[in-house]
Amino acid sequence: MIIWSRKGWIVGVIALVALVLGQVVSGGQTADELSTVGLVAFRFLPLLVAGVACWFVGTKLNQAQQGNNFFFIPMQFWGAILPVLGLVMVFA
């Protein structure tokens, strides 16, 4: 079950779009077919960009109206969480 409040759903959309674009750019290769550099380029970097986007969007939205959360976490904090998830995807 996905939980959000107000415009918190934007975090999921940004992360999903970033991961899909990373997969498209990689040519549909799986994690087993990619080198470490490829994993960093097509898994970590898209989530890093998504994290920066979530931080900016979340900061802007929460200045005007508090409570834009995704899984009870404010949007701008997902700016730090998404790159960490990208690192987990690279090294797991």
Q: What is the pLDDT of residue 28?
A: 67
Q: What is the pLDDT of residue 44?
A: 84
Closest residue by Cα to residue 41 from 13, 19, 11: 19
Q: What is the pLDDT of residue 31?
A: 65
Question: How many domains is the chain partitioned into structurally?
Answer: 1
List, for residues 60-82, the tens digit of each pLDDT value.
888 878 888 888 899 889 999 99
Which structural domain range is residue 82 located in?
4-91
List, for residues 25-54, the tens digit of each pLDDT value.
877 666 667 676 776 777 788 899 999 999
Is the CB of residue 11 less than 8 Å from the CB of residue 75?
A: yes
